Structure formats: structure tokens, C-alpha cells
A and B are shown apart, each in its own frame.
Chain A
Amino acid sequence: IAGITQAPTSQILAAGRRMTLRCTQDMRHNAMYWYRQDLGLGLRLIHYSNTAGTTGKGEVPDGYSVSRANTDDFPLTLASAVPSQTSVYFCASSEDRNQPQHFGDGTRLSIL
């Protein structure tokens, strides 16, 4: 079934450690996104990519980095994790801008 695959599904991480969340889509969508979801705050955009080779900052980019080496993959890296980065992270993709976004099932990340 076509869609978005996120890995891992959950992770507990010590503060200060480096962590990469993986996201792969098989729909050949141009645009990809990373969100974090926190209780009472909804989803907030971390970084996005309109097309392979380009990335941009969202609403809450600090402490995160992304890369888009090809169309299918859009990893999110926490260089040095902090407890405030405890959240559920969702990757999404869309065929083009202003098209509906398709979401993965999320990665639940706890930073201790």
C-alpha cells in the first residue's frame, strides 16, 4: 500500500544524544514536511521541502535539521536532544503545494 513510512515508531533517548527520525514515501510526491504534535498546541511545522534538493524552515525549526537528497526520503535529525523535544513527530508529503498532505503514523519520542 502506497504511503509514508516512519521509523522508529517510538524511542526513548537520553538528553544530549543525537537522533535521526526516518521518513520515506513511495508516492513520488514533490513536497515533504515534518511536524511535531504536542497536547493543546496542535501540529507545528518544523521543516519542509518543496522538492528534492531544497529545504525550508517552519514554525519551530530550532534544534532540528533535515536533508532531502532524493524524492523519497526526508530524515529529521536532532543533533543534541533536549527534554523539550519530547513529542510525537509526524512526517507528511503532498504532490504539490496547496495539495492535501498525507501523513505517516508518527514517531513517539521521549527525551529523558
Chain B
Amino acid sequence: AQSVTQLGSHVSVSEGALVLLRCNYSSSVPPYLFWYVQYPNQGLQLLLKYTTGATLVKGINGFEAEFKKSETSFHLTKPSAHMSDAAEYFCAVSVGATNKLIFGTGTLLAVQP
């Protein structure tokens, strides 16, 4: 069975600091991996996705993630946090012939001035 683990339900960084949100997945077949962002009282928006090919994926708002098969990880990073990055971030995996997304429990990112 597929699963996603997000380490750290709350992460706090200073404005301008590196953002690192951790995601590990479990899958018996090559996964499709996604990061979504949710702002208060809104739905989820796609940040980036990994399907096949290049393992470093660039997304919107300066975020990127690297697929590391050996570590079963897909961590999300941004070199310099902005106040507008404060939101909840969800990692998700979609596997094989299904189109079901399995979500992690989310990481709430706070950005301190």
C-alpha cells in the first residue's frame, strides 16, 4: 500500500531563511509525487509534480523538490522564505493505474518577520 509521511506538522522559519519541508513516501511501484499548498479558507493549489525524468522539479513561487528514490523522499525547498509563503503544505503520491492521491497530514509553515 502507498503512504506518505510528512515530518513536522509545524515548521517556523525567519523571512529570508531556507525553507525545507520533508516528505517520505512508501510505494511498491514508481510513484507520481505532488506538493500542494493550501492558504486559509481555500482549496489546494498545485506547487509542483514529479512523474518521470529529471529528479529535480521546479514549481511555482520559487519552490522546488528533488525525487530521491534511494531515500524514498521528495522534500520541498525554497532558498529564501517570504511572508506570503505562510500556508499549509501537503505532499501526495499517486500510483500506477489508479488516479487516487494519498495525502500526507500536512505541514503548517509559519514565516517570522
Binding site for B on A (CB under 8 A): 4, 31, 33, 35, 40-45, 48, 50, 58, 90, 92, 94, 96-106
Known: A42-B106, A103-B43. A48 touches B90 (CB 8 A): no
Q: A42-B105, A43-B103 are in contact. Are A97 and B97 (CB under 8 A)?
A: yes
**What are the residues of chain B within 8 A of A90 when measuring CB–CB?**
43-44
Number of interface residues of B (CB under 8 A): 23
From A31, A44, A50, A99, name the one whose CB has the most chain B CB atoms within 10 angstroms.
Answer: A99
A31-B99, A48-B99, A98-B94 as given contacts; A103 in contact with B106, CB under 8 Å: no
Instruction: Give the most central of A43, A50, A99, A106: most B CB within 10 Å.
Output: A43
Q: A43-B101, A101-B46 are in contact. List 14 more A-B contacts (CB 8 A).
A: A42-B103, A42-B104, A43-B90, A45-B100, A45-B101, A48-B100, A58-B100, A97-B99, A100-B34, A101-B101, A102-B46, A104-B43, A105-B42, A105-B43
Given contacts A100-B34, A100-B46, whether A105 and B99 have CB atoms under 8 Å apart is no
